[in-house]
Amino acid sequence: MKLGVDYYPEQWPADRWATDAQMMAELGLTYVRLGEFAWSLLEPADGQFDFSWLERAMTILANENLKLIIGTPTAAPPPWLTHQVDIVQRNVDGLPWSPGSRRHACANNPDYRRYSQRIVTELLQRLGDHPAVAGWQIDNEFGCHATGRCYCDHCRAAFQVWLQTRYGSLDRLNQAWGTVFWSATYTEWAQIPLPRTAPAQHNPSLLLDFRRFASDSWVAYQRLQIDLVRRWSPNRPITHNYLGGNEDTCEIDYFDLAADLDFVSWDNYPQGSAGPHHVALNHDMMRGFKGRPYWVMEQQPGVVNWHPYNRPVPPHLVRLWTYQGLGHGAEAVVYFRWRAARYGQEQYHAGLLRQDGSLTGSYREVAHFLRDLAAVPPISRRPAKVAILIDYADWWALQIDPHQHDFSYLKVVTSIYQDLWAAGINVDVIRRSDSIDGYKVVIVPSPNLIDAAQALRWQQFVEQGGRLLVTFRAFVKEQSNIWSDQPLPAGIDTLLGVQVEDYLGLPPDMRGAARNASGGLSFPYWRWAELLKPTTAQPLLFYNQFYWRDQVAATQNKVGQGVAVYAGCWFEHLLPQTLWQALGLDELAVPFSLPNDVEAIAIDLADGGEGVLLLNHNAEPKTVHLHRPGVSLLLNLPPTTLITLQPRDVAILRYE
């Protein structure tokens, strides 16, 4: 793994740049990202370009053997542009965003696309062959601040064209959307609206297709810039910095966005997450979007500035976060930022240096990590035997029509992942349509939209000895977001050996439990329950109370050499013991107990050895009893089975 920083030379006196570059090199950094918010300086007036200051900064950094990632500056159009041309997005009420911030431009606005193409072309022609340029970052954080969907007239016209391409005829669209409902049959493409604010909900089919269209719009906008980079700066890798997975950051399908990139990177701000398991999930998602190692392009280096309460960052936490990235397959971690800003919207955001240029504790933690890295052999995360299959269209469909206020596709995924993470099971998070060859266990959370080809692939996986888990709200709707006319789960009821007789959205005051056949084990559930009718499946769990008492809650169906398990309700731990055993997950877990919030990542060493990376995310010491002796690669100690981790500390262990 290599480390780097995000640097803004334009925010500091030019006579400071050489000092910063020397300090970066002395610290042991490899990469510097710069330029992604500099449009107003690179093009201070319409058609007048000045790259001299950036080229000078690049030369200074290159003189210290630092490698550069240059960001295209299109996330923050300059004031002269927004003053003379209307490029801003319209919100769901049709009102324009105010300029003066960032991410306010529309991907389908022809003027924005034209000006973007011009500044990127000029930048590339001037600096694309600079020997220090190691790669390019396209734009910055597409969709940040809930800007992934625009409701302007340009988007309406583009959406109507997109629909013509998708459906071919209005008859097919009307049929796919069920527009006979509420007298919404369209007779001209121009009649189709954007889902702006209306008295009641828009057609859910229109809503899902609009989300697909909006995502495709940013993929196309990114491709516009990628094509320019490929032309003017060939053989240099291209990335985009993704946001972590949250309900308000899923407006763009990151699998589609990754298709044109050479590698994925993401911005890791753990204090905006649900906990260390959520950060781990994000790491694994990033690896899965492209199916290869990834970068952290912005790593939180201390306190941030945008939460209602910006919590302190205790000592050792930045080092711990860096190790977590290493364990999940990050090739590089780049800290945001080198020096805390003196002005602008992020003045309270920490850097490795304070506003006055003095060193922070995080700077010293980065130095500590680099000393560690130099002292241990290369390690890599052991390949996963468990895959979680996700899909943005499922996510969007369940956001559009959750039926139950606190139903969340992401929470279903996260709950499943957390149970696996707590047992030290390495997991791949991949697309529903990806190959599942080589996995022993495949888990598909709430696959709401029907896909016959995927169902066939899952059938073959199970027949050949695979273990499959599918959860509630499975194969309910067609791809156009209309309800199936077949028994649920439509098209996989034979594979699962079960049909859904009823579905129940549960308010917070309705919590129940489901027991195993003997009644010796009972597991609480909430939020969602389905009443199951086994056909060929064996019941595993039964409901304990309410009017559906004794009805089936979970099943397993033996198919060929494998087993297909269906979870009909939202267990508080979505992999309760009975389902865990049915899937044979114990054989894939680390063979020792883990304290709460101690993360274990099975690793391989470059010399062929095996080991484990332990991360203590707690504020107090934790002890781990290994199943076999291990040697700490960070401490000069004899082999032992007893490992005590200090607060927010790590251990890299090689098994004897």
DSSP conformational letter for 392: H
Q: Which DSSP string do the residues of 453-484 spell out, in sequence order?
A: HHHHHHHHHHHTT-EEEEESS-S-B-TTS-B-
pLDDT at 641: 97
Which pLDDT does position 278 carry in this prediction? 98
pLDDT confidence band for 449 (50 / 70 / 90): very high
**pLDDT > 90? residue 441:** yes
**Token digits of residue 80:** 């002269």
Top-level CATH class of 2-165+213-377? alpha beta
Q: Between 3.40.50.10330, 3.40.50.880, 1.10.150.20, 3.40.640.10, what CATH number should domain 386-588 receive?
A: 3.40.50.880
Of 36, 298, 365, 599, which is the active-site residue?
298
Verify whether residue 298 is a known catalytic residue.
yes
Can you list the positions of beta strands (E) in 22-101?
A: 31-34, 67-71
User: Does the pLDDT of residue 37 top 90, yes or no?
Assistant: yes
CB contact at 8 A, 338 and 5: yes
What are the boundaries of each domain within the chain?
2-165+213-377, 386-588, 598-655
Question: From residue 447, how far is each of 219, 335, 491, 554, 610 by CA, in Å?
Answer: 24, 36, 12, 16, 36
**Separation of alpha carbons 443 and 25, rounded Å:** 45
298 DSSP β-pair partners: 267
Host H or E run for residue 379: strand 379-381
Q: What is the mean pLDDT of residues 246-275?
A: 96
Amino acid type, 566: Y
Mean pLDDT score, 645-656: 97
The DSSP line for 132-170 is TEEEEE-SS-TTTTTTS---SHHHHHHHHHHHHHHHSSH
Across 491-508, average pLDDT? 98
Of all residues in the chain, the percent with pLDDT exceeding 70 is: 100
Res. 272: pLDDT tops 90: no
CA distances from 136 to 313, 334, 555 (A): 31, 14, 49
- Residue for token pair 């500590």: 368
Per-residue pLDDT reduced to its tens digit, 462-493: 999 999 999 999 999 999 999 999 999 999 99
Task: Assign 303 a pLDDT band (cuts: 50, 70, 90).
Answer: very high
Name which of 414, 412, 446 is nearest 432 in CA terms.
446
Q: One of 36, 43, 141, 251 is an active-site residue; which one?
A: 141
**Domain 598-655, CATH number (from 2.60.40.1180, 3.30.1330.40, 1.10.357.10, 2.40.10.230):** 2.60.40.1180
Residue partners of 598: CB distance under 8 A and separation at least 6? 614, 615, 616, 617, 618, 622, 624, 645
Rounded average pLDDT over 311-322:
97
Mean pLDDT of the chain: 97
Which residues touch 159 (CB under 8 Å, ≥6 apart)?
A: 192, 194, 210, 213
Say if CB 256 and CB 219 are below 8 A apart.
yes
Parallel, antiparallel or unpaired: strands 640-645 and 31-34: unpaired
pLDDT tier, 636 (very low <50, low <70, confident <90, very high otherwise): confident
pTM of this structure: 0.98
82-121 tens-digit pLDDT:
999 999 999 999 999 999 999 999 999 999 999 999 999 9
389-440 tens-digit pLDDT: 999 999 999 999 999 999 999 999 999 999 999 999 999 999 999 999 999 9
Confirm whether 141 is a catalytic residue.
yes
- Does the structure show a pLDDT above 90 at 202? yes
